[in-house]
Amino acid sequence: MCGIVGYVGPQDARDVVLEGLRRLEYRGYDSAGIAVLADGSLATAKKAGKLANLEKVLAETPLPSATTAIGHTRWATHGGPTDRNAHPHVSADGSVAVIHNGIIENFASLRAECEATGIEFLSETDTEVAAHLLAAAYREAPEGEGRLAEAMRAVCRRLEGAFTLVATHVAEPDTLVAARRSSPLVVGSGRTADGTAEYFLGSDVAAFIGHTRNALELGQDQVVEIDRTRGVSVTDFGGAAAEPVAYTVDWDAAAAEKGGYGWFMLKEIAEQPQAVADTLLGRLGAHGELVLDEVRLSDQELRDIDKIFVVACGTAYHAGLIAKYAIEHWTRIPVEVEVASEFRYRDPVLDRSTLVVVISQSGETMDTLMALRHARDQKARVLAICNANGSTIPRESDAVLYTHAGPEIAVASTKGFLTQVVACYLVGLFLAQVRGMKFEDEVASIVEDLRKLPDAVAQVLAEMEPVRELARSLADADTILFLGRHVGFPVALEGALKLKELAYIHAEGFAAGELKHGPIALIDQGTPVVVVVPSPRSRESVHGKVVSNIQEVRARGALTIVIAEEGDEDVVPYADHLIRVPRTPTLLAPVVTTVPLQVLACEIADTRGLDVDQPRNLAKSVTVE
């Protein structure tokens, strides 16, 4: 998730911006850059890798002192993590510098338009389009105050997608202009020790918390102009005046890197609505067709597929189990889900008609990488689901779908898991479309259901305080069991894994139908049992069977904790604790039912006084077999 910093004021803007970039390092990034406006011209420096690489460049070739600057840490999406793709990007005439967070979906047509005028692009990014368009719009805008803001509004009206843009122009050395659509941006206002006004921009308040706690929250589709003399003014994309929401940050710089949250995991749980939305962004083409990031397989090769393996480890494996239900339902292709560390050692039967879907957040998981290579040796096709642009697994695959979860710092995956599940849905729909199992309007309809998920997840998160209270009461439990059927079974497995990872409590997830085949012997008086209940609308009376399972464990003394959709009254008599989630199509339900289990595990671990972000013995990415 890119970090954005801007500054206008009496201090040396270079130092202020670099300090802000350091505070945003927690967000994760793969390149960094800065632009200053001094002596009537723009000066930039940018470098792939960590901020230390950029600082080394600046030590060798310092930028001039300035009172206006912008800075950026980039998480690669369009184009790899290279020096030339790093931000800021400068227009062809050298007048405009731009930094950007998000994705400009219609960049290809806009780039072609720019190239038709003779502009030569220097990067692979969608961001550079905005720089060239903004320079052209500035030339056409009326002269006078607010010219850069008017140019920004004109450009934003042409852009599709989600974005935050920050720009500066050589003709307006004391001004920054920024815009936001479905991507975060906040304004800071403060005063130096001598009372001089200064202004800040940031992708979150951590960027400027060392200078001020006074912030302005911008609304959707708004442009903000910051000028040293005139202060802050905000309009919508049409030019109508808008009023930003002012607030005071109630935490200090020491907590800034976590965005005010006690744990990175809490922050990442809260980021899930945006992460899911970003993963869905730009997936439908101009004619309703589904679009993946990179596909080096022909439609005919995909139509020839007669078997699919999903291969992954840990949490990603649970995402793969959910994928099986969706892919088989939508494509009618048989799907097997394999633990990556076992896959190649059992000598699976693979050929050119086999598709192997590998799931890895880091793209460097060694077990998964070796499974991928084994599949390639057997001539199978490989499709990767990954969160790290340019990592090994995507590079060695025939097709890639990136999850745009942004960096995930806590070891236990939360938003990484939800975005992997969403990506699996997209893969299933893509295959169904290519193979003629779903028409474009059917795909579009399901994608529309997917697009409702961010709001559904946000609703769940807004109603989690009773879950936190419940978690605190369970902190001394020795064992907690999880039950589920259909897509609820992988959710139960994931809930148990989270609890084991974070709270070091014995936890097991079971298919509810297996209860009578042994696991019911674990039930003792007061044993907490979490049951993920399918929708009453689910097929073949699965709902009724799970309600019977709840009765069975309750009759043996279990403390029943039931996750059920709104309106399901059948579970009420048998639930000691009832957690409601929004009504969601059955196959998509894991995206909402998983969230309470994340919160439950996190709160139990915190109550037990444990390190939520870095559980003992665990690493974020397993790079050895």
pLDDT the model gives residue 44: 97
Phi and psi at residue 464, in whole multiples of 5°? -95, -5
Q: How far from chain centre, in Å, is Cα 529?
A: 31
pLDDT the model gives residue 77: 77
Choosing from 50, 307, 545, 620, the catalytic residue is: 620
How far is residue 220 from each of residues 62, 186, 425, 541, measured CA to CA in Å? 37, 12, 28, 43
* Sheet of 41-48, strand order: 41-48, 31-38, 68-74, 3-8, 197-202, 186-191, 214-217, 245-248
Q: Domains in the chain, start-ordered, CATH in brackets?
A: 3-250 (3.60.20.10), 263-451 (3.40.50.10490), 454-618 (3.40.50.10490)
E strand or H helix at 168: strand 161-169
Amino acid making up residue 446? I
Residue of 56, 62, 43 whose CA lies nearest to 168: 43
pLDDT the model gives residue 196: 95
Q: How many helices (H) and strands (E) does the chain have?
A: 19, 25
Handedness of CA 458, 463, 466, 469 (dihedral sign): positive
Contact 501, 619 (CB under 8 A): no
Residue 114 is a catalytic residue: no
- Give the residue ranges of the chain where pLDDT is below 70: 1, 26-28, 251-256, 286-287, 390, 539-540, 619-625
Amino acid making up residue 535? S
Residue of 335, 269, 298, 281 whose CA lies nearest to 602: 269
Residue 258 is a catalytic residue: no
* Sheet of 89-90, strand order: 89-90, 96-104, 161-169, 175-181, 222-227, 231-236
Radius of gyration of the chain (CA): 26
pLDDT tens, position by position, 439-462: 888 888 998 999 999 999 999 999
Q: Exposed e or buried b for every residue in 38-62, given b needs 16+ CB within 10 A?
A: beeebbbbbbbeebebbbebeeeee
d(CA 489, CA 484): 4
**Whole-number average pLDDT of the chain:** 92
pLDDT tens, position by position, 54-70: 999 999 999 999 999 99
Reported pTM: 0.72
Contact 355, 323 (CB under 8 A): no
Contact 2, 101 (CB under 8 A): yes
Choosing from 2, 114, 156, 424, the catalytic residue is: 2
Pairing of strands 68-74, 31-38: antiparallel
pLDDT the model gives residue 2: 76
Contact 197, 191 (CB under 8 A): yes
Contact 232, 189 (CB under 8 A): yes
pLDDT the model gives residue 4: 94
Q: How far apart are the first and last CA of the chain?
A: 29
